[in-house]
């Protein structure tokens, strides 16, 4: 029963806090008065049922106050609100007290409870204009600020909202983590079927080739005298081969259907399991409106917290980690950002300052915005503080941009306050914010407008159990780089490599970026990429960034993070592991650790140079393919398939673009769609086949149009191969390309 009382007390005290803060802005709001009265009444009934008399007394006195306000006997002012919030604090403390310590708590707080009830009684009998004085609180140099909710206990409430009241199930966090892990494994296992189906496609093609060989053999032997037994055996063999092809084709269709259903079911299971870890943003910010109000009053400022996106779903672990950083940002906004009422009046602003706390999903990431309408950051003061602390000289500081100046605010111990208080001044708040954001693979940005306010943008992953990565090959092994740490990716021509002070660099965005072979840092075969362009990943920040040369890009992947065995300890440059679609393992790179490893190699002078010459086999050139399609998805799919097999691929976005490309470049094959803007595929094929210099280039059509007349129309225009997207398979396309122009290397 006490557990139920604690749950109800947590809910009803939050209703009281929200209602009281709203009543402070509008004391006559009937809806808020009704909500607060009912919350106090519910707490009184719950305390009476579980036998907590002090809870009954506190709730009853608060209920009487709200009823009197509803009848117009009193008008709630700031001191009333302060007093009632003190009562909410007492009820919260009571609810959190363990059962065995309730008697001790009641004895220790008896005087404070009595003073509170007496003050509320005085408020009921005083004239409507009078405001009671709150009971004296213990002396302190800073305001008593309500603490943010503690980290979620091991038992986590999982709420399923139905047509009626919420149903609450007590499920441990460990159980949810295990459920999510199993759902992630099922998702990975379901992806194994696709490569298995592709292997059956190869088997189907081999059977087809075998059947053709048997047919050729039978035709070759048709003019020769064969015994009846030999002829029968040959016919039976050919019949069985045809039957086996039909059975395999039927089973392959069934397997593809099962693959689709299994993948869909596994994805739904994982999505639902992941949703169990998600909580509304409102669950982690309940204490902030009260905190902002109390800090503002202590500093003589009128300030209101505006919450946006309270229903935004956030991973439970991230929500818990956000508590302290958001508290720092909000206290800084009140202390540093919001002006005093006199300053705001002089600037033509409303006396009440507004701080906006917003959560939203954007581009697969969680964005948290903390913005105020205060005075903004004084960049001249920041510049002077940088020079005063000898972080740089005056000449360099004068050249720093606004973004570079604002980055100094995140340095440990850097503060714009001249004195230290319990609210701010030690320069640890923003440093703590940045550290937390880095821990969860996120970023934080600050912007400011003088006289209009300051804005912090935190960009975080939606969940810590799944990470969006770029998959690459390094030294013959697969590695995953979290996208949050990647500044830029590019294909760097080898002739763009420059030598500066004995180290290799290239120019990116007007600045020099050091070039490092990723295989030297992570180990493995150091053969390097093939071709005249180097796949490069740029990681780091403005002051310390490197271009890591990898063997090749595999593409973007969402990976389910699998922690490494604790017995392995901290593995250098690696943060965790994951499983790819085919079940093979991949290591997720710890980018910050990798940057430290690169710095050590640089300082020791052990950095190897990237070979400027091509790393491929001498005398062997790759066959070039032009892909023409107006669909970005189809273009990229075909490009990745062909590039992965070793072909050199260029793309065109429509028929006209493709015609210009094929006239100006040398290609061994053109793959084109039919329906495209400006020039369709049929016209493109006709132009190629009519040109005496281009007509020898094979052309393959890949189209959604699967009618026989469409196929005939394409072939009559001169296409050498017609493939429908409805029957499109990776191996089908690659085999067709190989049949037309052979292997990737000439």
Average pLDDT over residues 98-109: 81
Distance CA 376, CA 511 (A): 30
Query: Coil, strand or helix: which one is 306?
Result: strand
pLDDT of residue 524: 65
Query: Coil, strand or helix: which one is 243?
Result: helix
Distance CA 710, CA 579 (A): 42
Backbone φ, ψ for residue 5 (5° rounding):
-65, -40
Return the bridge partners of 547, or none: 515, 538
Q: Does residue 712 have a pLDDT over 80? A: yes
pLDDT of residue 620: 56
Average pLDDT over residues 727-739: 78
Contact 436, 327 (CB under 8 A): no
pLDDT of residue 528: 59
Contact 369, 356 (CB under 8 A): yes
Average pLDDT over residues 341-369: 88
Q: Does residue 357 have a pLDDT over 90? A: yes
Distance CA 142, CA 152 (A): 28
Domain edges within the chain: 2-138, 173-279, 285-461, 466-603, 624-741
Contact 662, 651 (CB under 8 A): no
Concatenate the DSSP letters of all residues of 88-118 into one string.
Answer: HHHHHHHHHS-GGGHHHHHHHTHHHHHHHHH
Tokens of 481: 């780089």
Backbone φ, ψ for residue 447 (5° rounding):
-140, 155
* pLDDT: which is higher, 410 or 135: 410
* pLDDT: which is higher, 338 or 704: 338
82-93 pLDDT tens trace: 888 888 888 888
pLDDT of residue 746: 60
pLDDT of residue 160: 41
Contact 655, 679 (CB under 8 A): yes
pLDDT of residue 542: 62
Three-state SS string across 489-508, please?
A: EEEEEHHHCEEECCEEEEEE
| Domain covering 624-741, topology | Rossmann fold (3.40.50)
Return the bridge partners of 517, or none: 549
Q: Does residue 296 have a pLDDT over 60? A: yes
Contact 679, 640 (CB under 8 A): no
pLDDT band at residue 368 under the 50/70/90 scheme: very high
180-194 pLDDT tens trace: 778 777 776 777 777
* pLDDT: which is higher, 297 or 463: 297
Lowest average pLDDT, out of 370-384, 525-539, 631-645, goes to 525-539
* pLDDT: which is higher, 640 or 166: 640
Distance CA 580, CA 242 (A): 36
Distance CA 232, CA 588 (A): 60
Concatenate the DSSP letters of all residues of 696-724 into one string.
Answer: TS-EEEEES--SHHHHHHHHHTT-SEEEE
Domain 466-603, classified CATH 2.40.50.180, yes or no = yes
Q: Does residue 73 have a pLDDT over 60? A: yes
Q: Does residue 21 have a pLDDT over 70? A: yes
509-539 pLDDT tens trace: 778 888 998 988 887 665 556 567 889 999 8
590-620 pLDDT tens trace: 888 898 888 888 877 677 777 654 443 344 5
Backbone φ, ψ for residue 133 (5° rounding):
-90, 135
Long-range contacts of 245-248 (CB under 8 A, 24+ apart): 245/204, 245/207, 245/208, 245/211, 248/200, 248/203, 248/204, 248/207
pLDDT of residue 138: 39
Q: Does residue 79 have a pLDDT over 80? A: no
- In the chain, pLDDT over 70 holds for what percent of residues? 86
pLDDT of residue 155: 42
Contact 449, 525 (CB under 8 A): no
| Domain covering 2-138, topology | 1.20.120
What's the maximum distance between 2 C-alpha atoms anywhere in the chain?
126
pLDDT band at residue 1 under the 50/70/90 scheme: low
Distance CA 545, CA 557 (A): 23
pLDDT of residue 536: 93
Angle at alpha carbon of residue 351, lines to 345 and 355, rounded to 5°: 125
Using CB atoms within 10 Å of the CB of residue 592, give its burial: 0 to 12 exposed, 13 to 18 middle, 19+ buried.
middle
pLDDT of residue 156: 42
Backbone φ, ψ for residue 361 (5° rounding):
-95, 135
Among candidates 547, 544, 519, 521, which has minimal Cα distance to 533? 547
pLDDT of residue 177: 74
212-229 pLDDT tens trace: 888 888 777 776 767 778
Using CB atoms within 10 Å of the CB of residue 277, give its burial: 0 to 12 exposed, 13 to 18 middle, 19+ buried.
buried
Mean per-residue pLDDT of the chain: 79
Tokens of 495: 């002739």
Average pLDDT over residues 706-713: 78
Among candidates 313, 315, 294, 316, which has minimal Cα distance to 305? 294
- Quick one: angle between helices 78-96 and 2-25, nearest 10? 170
pLDDT of residue 613: 46
Q: Tell me whether the CATH fold assigned to 2-138 matches the one assigned to 624-741.
A: no
* pLDDT: which is higher, 535 or 633: 535
Task: Tell me 571's DSSP state.
Answer: P
- In the chain, pLDDT over 90 holds for what percent of residues? 6
Contact 212, 598 (CB under 8 A): no
CATH, domain range 285-461:
3.30.565.10
549-584 pLDDT tens trace: 998 898 888 787 877 877 888 888 898 888 776 667
């Amino acid at each position: 029963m006490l557990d139920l009382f604690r749950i109800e007390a947590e809910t009803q005290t939050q209703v009281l806090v929200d209602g009281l803060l709203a009543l402070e802005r509008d004391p006559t709001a009937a809806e808020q008065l009704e909500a607060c009265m009912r919350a106090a009444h519910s707490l009184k009934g719950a305390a009476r049922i579980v036998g907590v008399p002090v809870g009954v007394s506190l709730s009853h006195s608060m209920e009487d106050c709200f009823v009197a306000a509803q009848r117009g006997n009193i008008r709630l002012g700031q001191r009333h609100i302060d007093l009632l919030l003190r009562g909410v604090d007492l009820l919260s403390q009571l609810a959190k007290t363990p059962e065995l310590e309730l008697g001790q708590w009641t004895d220790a707080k008896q005087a404070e409870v009595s003073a509170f009830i007496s003050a509320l009684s005085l408020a009921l009998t005083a004239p409507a204009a009078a405001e009671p004085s709150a009971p004296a609180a213990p002396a302190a140099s800073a305001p008593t600020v309500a603490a943010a909710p503690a980290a979620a206990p091991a038992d986590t409430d999982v709420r399923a909202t139905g047509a009626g009241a919420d149903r609450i199930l007590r499920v441990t966090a460990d159980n949810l983590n295990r459920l999510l892990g199993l759902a992630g494994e099922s998702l990975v296992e379901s992806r194994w079927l696709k490569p298995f189906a592709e292997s059956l496609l190869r088997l189907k093609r081999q059977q087809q080739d075998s059947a053709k060989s048997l047919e050729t053999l039978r035709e070759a032997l048709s003019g020769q005298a064969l015994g009846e037994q030999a002829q029968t055996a040959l016919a039976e063999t050919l019949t069985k081969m045809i039957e086996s092809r039909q059975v395999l084709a039927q089973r392959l269709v069934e397997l593809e259907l099962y693959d689709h259903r299994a993948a869909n079911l596994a994805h739904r299971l994982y999505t639902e399991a992941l949703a169990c870890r998600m909580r509304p943003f409102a669950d982690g910010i309940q204490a902030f409106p009260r905190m902002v109000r109390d800090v503002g009053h202590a500093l003589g400022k009128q300030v209101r917290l505006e919450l946006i996106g309270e229903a935004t779903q956030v991973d439970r672990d991230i929500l818990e980690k956000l508590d302290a950083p958001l508290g720092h940002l909000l206290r800084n906004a009140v202390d540093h950002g919001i002006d005093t009422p006199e300053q705001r009046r002089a600037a033509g602003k409303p006396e009440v300052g507004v701080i906006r706390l917003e959560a939203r999903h954007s581009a697969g990431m969680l964005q948290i915005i903390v913005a105020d309408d205060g005075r903004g950051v004084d960049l001249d003061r920041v510049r002077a503080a940088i020079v005063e602390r000898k972080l740089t000289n005056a000449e360099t500081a004068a050249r720093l941009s606004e973004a570079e100046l604002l980055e100094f605010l995140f340095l440990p111990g850097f503060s714009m306050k001249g004195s230290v208080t319990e609210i701010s001044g030690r320069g640890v708040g923003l440093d703590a914010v940045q550290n937390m954001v880095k821990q969860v693979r996120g970023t934080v940005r600050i912007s400011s407008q003088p006289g209009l306010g300051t804005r912090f943008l935190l960009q975080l992953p939606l969940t810590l159990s799944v990470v969006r990565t770029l998959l690459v090959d390094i030294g013959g092994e697969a590695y995953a780089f979290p996208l949050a740490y990647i500044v830029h990716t590019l294909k760097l021509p080898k002739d763009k490599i420059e030598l500066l002070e004995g180290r290799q660099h290239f120019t990116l965005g007007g600045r020099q970026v050091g070039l490092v072979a990723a295989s030297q840092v992570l180990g493995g075969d150091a053969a390097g990429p093939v071709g005249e362009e180097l796949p490069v990943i740029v990681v780091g920040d403005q002051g310390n960034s490197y271009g890591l040369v990898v063997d090749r890009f595999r593409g973007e992947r969402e990976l389910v993070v699998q922690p490494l065995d604790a017995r392995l300890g901290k593995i250098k440059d690696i943060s965790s592991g994951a499983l790819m679609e085919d079940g093979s393992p991949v290591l997720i790179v710890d980018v910050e650790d990798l940057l430290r490893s690169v710095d050590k190699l640089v300082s020791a002078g052990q950095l190897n140079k990237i070979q400027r010459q091509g790393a491929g086999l001498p005398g062997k050139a790759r066959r070039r393919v032009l892909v023409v399609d107006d669909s970005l998805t189809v273009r990229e799919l075909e490009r990745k398939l062909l590039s992965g097999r070793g072909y050199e691929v260029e793309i065109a976005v429509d028929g006209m673009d493709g015609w210009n490309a094929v006239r100006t470049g040398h290609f061994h094959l053109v793959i084109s769609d039919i329906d495209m803007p400006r020039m369709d595929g049929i016209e493109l094929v006709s132009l190629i086949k009519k040109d005496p210099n281009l007509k020898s280039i094979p052309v393959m059509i890949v189209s959604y149009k699967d009618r026989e007349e469409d196929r005939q129309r394409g072939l009559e225009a001169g296409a050498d191969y017609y493939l429908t997207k409805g029957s499109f398979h990776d191996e089908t396309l690659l085999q067709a390309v190989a049949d037309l122009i052979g292997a990737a290397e000439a």
